[in-house]
Amino acid sequence: MAAEVLSAAGWRVDVFDAMPSVGRKFLMAGKGGMNLTHSEAADAFVSRYGKRAAAVGQWLRHFGADDVRTWAHRLGVDTFVGTSGRVFPTDMKAAPLLRAWLTRLRAGGVRLHVRHRWLGWLGWPEASPAQPGPLRFATPQGERLVQARAVVLALGGASWPQLGSDAAWVPWLREHGVDVAPLRPANAGFEIDWTPHMRERFAGHPVKSVTMALPDGTTRQGEFVISEHGIEGSLVYALCAPIRDAILAEGSARVYLDLLPDWPAQRVRDEVSRPRGSRSMASHLQSRLGIAGVKAGLLRECLSRDTFDDPAALAAGIKRLPLTLRRTRPIAEVISSAGGVTLEALDERLMARALPGVFFAGEMLDWEAPTGGYLLTACFASACVAAQGAAAYLETLRQASERY
């Protein structure tokens, strides 16, 4: 996206990618359906960026959700809004969009270089801090040096390192005075110490139509999936940041499930308290409340045996079932990462205050968002801001050279 903006502004652009082909993480993002953006109102959209909402909101002024759809349409890819409000290409695929995009970039003069892994700079001359040393790249033919007047770094975070985002850049930037917040898992699953029965019987089962609440009262409704290790899925990802931070601070986190969010608490108590005669409790819960399968398994897993002899306590458990989350899944396997280059280390154009001419975009910046199109939209938007900043910086250099 940065290359597209800079090329359109008339600058010669080279793109260097560590992988054998470009856009591999883009393709992975479309593996289950290419979620480009979201159709919700602007205020709600911006709020998804949590602590960084104000900053990301400024980026989105340059390239927001509507701009994403227009951009795709101009590449010949129609989009539609799904029932959840998410926006997808009509064929749900990423590959046709990427092919059309690369064709347009090449037609615009952008030169693509693959199997070029960035190794930092060959020095940064103290006598001329505004002119960095050459960029170092590891290539199959050996090390290559490239001198650039401006650089946009979009190196990703630390999730899916096999696709290129391995965070090797962190120490190099810190050495040059760029503040980098620790990288942490985002949109991650969490580990629970399941009993063998729960793990073997229900791993892979979806838990639908529930709400999840945090101790502070924050609540989201949706669905998630039982995994071999714990829980994952869209509802979990929506609350990932506060859960992760609680685990970091306290060693574990407690969340509460409402297994029947559409049922008033009194109705649940009334149905649980009805005489069940010779029926088992499992049959009673299924016939009176529709609780069976994985939901029944969660009740057995999380409540004591004595609770099932106390209708009031059982009803309370159905409406507020406690789950203790022990650990976040490893950062290498999660959807995205939080942390990265702090926005305070950059100016409003996303140029490093310590490194003139070096701009940053995408997931390597210190922000996060849940799944739903928010990640990709903000990556695009930050690239537009960085590219516009780089174009302005280059224009300043050109005018200065003309004067002298």
pLDDT in tens, 212-246: 999 999 999 999 999 999 999 999 999 999 999 99
Band of residue 127 on the pLDDT scale cut at 50, 70, 90: very low
Distance (Å, whole) CA 15 – CA 25: 16
- Over range 115-121, report the average pLDDT: 95
- Dihedral sign (CA 24, 27, 31, 35): positive
CA proximity to 110, closest of 119, 101, 121: 101
Query: Which part of the chain is CATH 3.50.50.60?
Result: 1-185+337-403
Amino acid 130: pLDDT:
55
pLDDT of residue 401 exceeding 90, the answer is no
> What are the beta bridge partners of residue 225?
206, 232
DSSP helix/strand/coil, 226: strand
pLDDT in tens, 190-209: 999 999 999 999 999 999 99
pLDDT in tens, 7-18: 999 999 999 999
> What are the beta bridge partners of residue 210?
222
Distances (CA, A) of 189 to 137, 224, 231, 236: 35, 10, 6, 7
Distance (Å, whole) CA 353 – CA 214: 38
Q: Is 151 exposed, middle or buried (0-12, 13-18, 19+ CB in 10 A)?
A: buried
pLDDT in tens, 347-367: 999 999 999 999 999 999 999
| DSSP result, 178-217 | --EEEEEEES--EE----HHHHHHHTT-EEEEEEEE-TTS
pTM: 0.92
Is domain 1-185+337-403 classified as CATH 3.40.50.280?
Answer: no
